[in-house]
A and B are shown apart, each in its own frame.
Chain A
Amino acid sequence: MTGFFAILQRDLRLALRQGADSVMVVAFFIVTTTLFPFGVGPEANILARIASGVIWVSALLAAMLSLERVFQTDYEDGTLELLTLSPVSLELVVLGKALAHWLTTGLPLIIAAPLMAVMLNMDPAGFGVLMVAMLLGTPALSLIGAIGAALILGARRGGVLVSLLVLPLYIPILIFGAGAVEAALLGVSAAAQLQIMGAILLLALAATPFATAHALRQAME
């Protein structure tokens, strides 16, 4: 576990010193969400209808925006090479990096989401489920995204490539995340959707560190 905590501490310290990344992700999320009322018109009913979907899609895009940076700087300055040569499990290092990514991007998004829900005229009945669904969904975004971030190392135009790789994998989270909020707004229990999201998170937690670590070792060759 030393690798996990060491890298988590280092990444959080880095994020604190160069806080622009986190702020940018939240700003992107707010701007994207704000564009929809301009596009579809200010009709309160229509906005309330599409609110959960808009928030989820914007959150996916915002989380993806920061993915390229997860391993890129470490790759460029030689840190990644030394991490793979450290006497700790690379899988735990990857997990630490994914957690740091979630704390600096996913968590701010969860805090910003209810504000956007208010702006889009979502029924307050959906707020709680929206937060819970995002709490389950955004860590999975970071974990799955890390695979994409590791695969694009050394590629040109990595940012575009990572979206093509990762966005299709985000679809289940989008479907069940928006579905959970939808159910809560209809007054039905959202437990089924939330349980599936929990399952996705557990699966990602168990499987993605191995895939990401393997991709990183490949990138070092």
Chain B
Amino acid sequence: MAVFSGSDLTCLRGERLVFGGLSFAANPGDAIMLRGRNGAGKSSLLRLMAGLLVPRSGMITWDGESIHKDRVGHNARQQYLGHQDAIKPVLSVRDNLRLWAQLRGVKDIDAAIDTALHALEIHHLSRTAGRYLSSGQKRRTALARILIGETQLWLLDEPTVGLDRESCAELARLIADFRAKGGIVIYSTHIDLAVDDPALLDLDEFAIPMVEWLQDQDAHEQDADPEYDLDTDAPQLAVPSDRQGAAQ
């Protein structure tokens, strides 16, 4: 049985079924690349895996135990990189990273931060305040965050946004290193990231058949149509008579 797996997942956002019947499985050293058109649910799936969202149905398990049973344990083993970089403009890069190192209970915080900054080649920026960073540098700082602390799972939501070509190669190398150490990487991207044979998960395949939903919508529209006509007619009739009244 796979270490990290999900079975028969259904995701409901608002009143929209994003995907249904989705399953995945990953073992140490695996990488899964999420694909799909915009709105297919790549981010939602990553948030489900992180435990930020609860699936409508189905279960996500680590070593056979639901991730929602032991939230702190799941948080300790994973690093999540979302769309936002979570960088405070008034704090230096080092101080920004310090919080995450402290929260992960890292022993030698400064050494851990130094290593992460060197790995992403932004060590020269360690004393620069967040507001003076370019968007690419902010993204690199966010990536430095996921290197701090011992983890087994990376959930990367569009990690390449804002990165130049060299940084993308850098990221691919970090992912390879992490996998070599037995880490699981699950990521979504719309550009080619040079990751060695990732498993592909195409979310378009799990889109819920919309037939019923559309029929439902049609019925509503037909109901609404006559009312709509009446509503638009009424003021048109009323306006001239009002004007006549006003003129008299």
Give the B-binding residues of A (Cβ under 8 A): 2-3, 5-7, 9-10, 13-14, 17-18, 77-79, 81-89, 220-221
CA distance A14 to B88 in the complex (A): 8
Q: Is the CB of B52 within 8 A of A220?
A: yes
Chain B residues with CB under 8 Å of A221's CB are 52-54
B239 contacts A by Cβ under 8 Å: no
Residue of B nearest to A83 (CB): B103
Q: Is the CB of A86 within 8 A of B82?
A: no
Q: Is the CB of B85 within 8 A of A77?
A: yes
B9 contacts A by Cβ under 8 Å: no
CA distance A221 to B53 in the complex (A): 6
Contact with A along B96-125 (1 / 0, CB 8 A): 001110111100000000000000000000
Which of B73-81, B168-176, B177-185, B240-248 lies on the face that meets chain A? B73-81
Instruction: Kindly identify which residue among A14, A18, A87 contacts B75, using a CB–CB cutoff of 8 Å.
Output: A87
Q: Is the CB of A88 within 8 A of B90?
A: no
Residue of B nearest to A10 (CB): B99
Q: Is the CB of B51 within 8 A of A85?
A: yes
A86 to chain B, nearest CB (A): 4
Q: Is the CB of B102 within 8 A of A6?
A: yes
Residue of B nearest to A3 (CB): B103
Q: Is the CB of A2 within 8 A of B102?
A: yes
Instruction: Kindly identify which residue among B52, B73, B95, B98 contacts A85, using a CB–CB cutoff of 8 Å.
Output: B52
A-B pairs, top 8 by smallest CB distance, nearest first, are A78-B84, A87-B76, A6-B102, A78-B86, A17-B90, A86-B103, A87-B75, A79-B86
B206 to chain A, nearest CB (A): 20
B214 contacts A by Cβ under 8 Å: no
A132 to chain B, nearest CB (A): 34
Instruction: Kindly identify which residue among A3, A18, A86 contacts B90, using a CB–CB cutoff of 8 Å.
Output: A18
29 chain-A/chain-B pairs, Cβ below 8 angstroms: A2-B103, A2-B105, A3-B103, A5-B102, A6-B99, A6-B103, A13-B91, A17-B90, A17-B91, A77-B84, A77-B85, A77-B87, A78-B82, A78-B84, A78-B85, A79-B86, A81-B84, A82-B80, A82-B145, A85-B50, A85-B52, A85-B75, A85-B78, A87-B72, A87-B76, A87-B103, A88-B72, A88-B103, A221-B54
Residue of B nearest to A79 (CB): B86
Residue of A nearest to B73 (CB): A87
Instruction: Kindly identify which residue among A3, A78, A220 contacts B83, using a CB–CB cutoff of 8 Å.
Output: A78
CA distance A5 to B82 in the complex (A): 25
Q: Is the CB of A87 within 8 A of B85?
A: no
Instruction: Kindly identify which residue among B53, B83, B100 contacts A86, using a CB–CB cutoff of 8 Å.
Output: B100
Residue of A nearest to B101 (CB): A6
B18 to chain A, nearest CB (A): 13
B209 to chain A, nearest CB (A): 25
Chain A residues with CB under 8 Å of B98's CB are 10
CA distance A18 to B82 in the complex (A): 26
Chain B residues with CB under 8 Å of A85's CB are 50-52, 75, 78, 80
Q: Is the CB of B52 within 8 A of A84?
A: yes
Chain B residues with CB under 8 Å of A77's CB are 84-88
A8 to chain B, nearest CB (A): 11
Task: Give 20 new A-B contacts, CB below 8 A, not counting A13-B91, A85-B52.
Answer: A2-B102, A2-B103, A6-B102, A14-B90, A14-B91, A17-B90, A77-B84, A78-B82, A78-B86, A81-B52, A81-B84, A82-B80, A82-B86, A82-B145, A84-B52, A85-B80, A86-B100, A87-B72, A87-B75, A88-B103
